Amino acid sequence: MNTDCSLAVAERLEAVRARIAAAARRAGRSPEEVTLVGITKGVPVERIRAAVDAGLVELGENRIQEWLPKIAAVGPAARWHFVGHLQTNKVRYLARGVKVLHSLDRPRLLSVLEDRWESWCEGLRQQGCERDPVCLLQLNVAGEDTKYGLSPEKLDVFLGKLVSSGCKVRVRGLMTIAPYTTDPESVRPVFARLRRLRDDARLRYPELGFDDLSMGMSGDFEVAVEEGATLVRIGTAIFGPRQ
Ligand SMILES: *Cc1c(COP(=O)(O)O)cnc(C)c1O
């Protein structure tokens, strides 16, 4: 094991945590309101283990094929999130241990999740997890052609159907990927808009417990935390460049 690399990961993790805490305080929030999810795509297993050894619990992947071999390699200390576009024929793999799906991005995926909901819950229970999984609805706030996600205009109809149909799938908030930028201030309006959409949805559908906001990546997480993120998804700022 390369100790230089472990040290670098532990130091970067510490620096990211400090920046999240400072951003939270600037916005009058408690740092504990923000969950750090380390995004491990393209990261060698030794580096992931170094981060877990340094106290990182929540990990996220965006491809099922890349995630499956990491489950055993990283070990039981990790709590896995899935953050990528999910093909319906891969939904069954969520039962191997995904606790939070950030990327519910289309009605068709919701209906497949509903069909497989019990087996997902059962899969987690067999791993000793008492809580049912949760999903976040991915919105394409900036309307980019290259990004997945529901358009914000469709949110209200989507949630109205979810509630009135008695759907079992637990949808607990919103997720977005902001446009790529070298100036994080330029994406502040995207995050502010996601937060307002979450606030409106919470008022209209209090029964959902629609509390979470997954927003912010390596290049823009401080702005996202200032705008109310409850989950930040950070890869390169913790693990270094991807392979
Ligand atoms: C890769 C990825 C991230 C992390 O990206 P970084 O810029 O490395 O922090 C976050 N969210 C999603 C959905 C991703 O695919």
| pTM of the predicted protein model | 0.97
Closest CA relative to residue 95, chosen from 80, 73, 110: 80
Where would I find the H helices in 75-106? none
Atom of ligand 1 nearest to the CA of 234: 9
* CATH number of the domain within which 221 lies: 3.20.20.10
pLDDT in tens, the chain (243 residues): 556 777 799 999 999 999 999 999 999 999 999 999 999 999 999 999 999 999 999 999 999 999 999 999 999 999 999 999 999 999 999 999 999 999 999 999 999 999 999 999 999 999 999 999 999 999 999 999 999 999 999 999 999 999 999 999 999 999 999 999 999 999 999 999 999 999 999 999 999 999 999 999 999 999 999 999 999 999 999 999 998
What pLDDT, on the 0 to 100 scale, is given for residue 2? 54
243 part of a folded domain: no
Q: Is the distance from CB of 207 to CB of 172 less than 8 angstroms?
A: no
Residues near ligand 1 (Cβ within 6 A): 39, 41, 62, 83-84, 177, 217-219, 233-237
Measuring from atom 10 of ligand 1, which residue has the nearest CA? 233
Report how far ligand 1's centroid is from the alpha carbon of 164 (Å).
33
Task: Measure the N-to-C terminal CA separation of the chain; round to a whole number of Å.
Answer: 17
What number of other Cβ atoms are within 10 A of residue 79's Cβ? 17
| Domain contains 110 | yes
Beta-ladder partners of 60? 39, 81
State how far the alpha carbon of 55 is from the alpha carbons of 18, 77, 87, 158, 213, in Å.
14, 9, 31, 37, 23
Domain assignment present for 15: yes
Residue nearest to atom 7 of ligand 1 (CA): 218
Q: Are 178 and 195 in contact (CB under 8 A)?
A: no
Segments forming the whole domain that contains residue 183: 3-238
The pLDDT value recorded for residue 3 is: 62
Number of domains in the chain: 1
The residue among 26, 39, 14 whose CA lies nearest residue 223 is 26
C-beta of residue 24 within 8 angstroms of C-beta of residue 222 = no
**Contact between residue 46 and residue 6 where contact means Cβ atoms under 8 Å apart:** yes
Would residue 230 be called left, alpha or beta, if left means φ above 0 and alpha means ψ between -120 and 50 degrees? alpha
Shortest-distance atom of ligand 1 to CA 218: 9
Answer whether residue 28 is part of any domain. yes
To 10 degrees, what angle do helices 155-164 and 188-204 make?
30
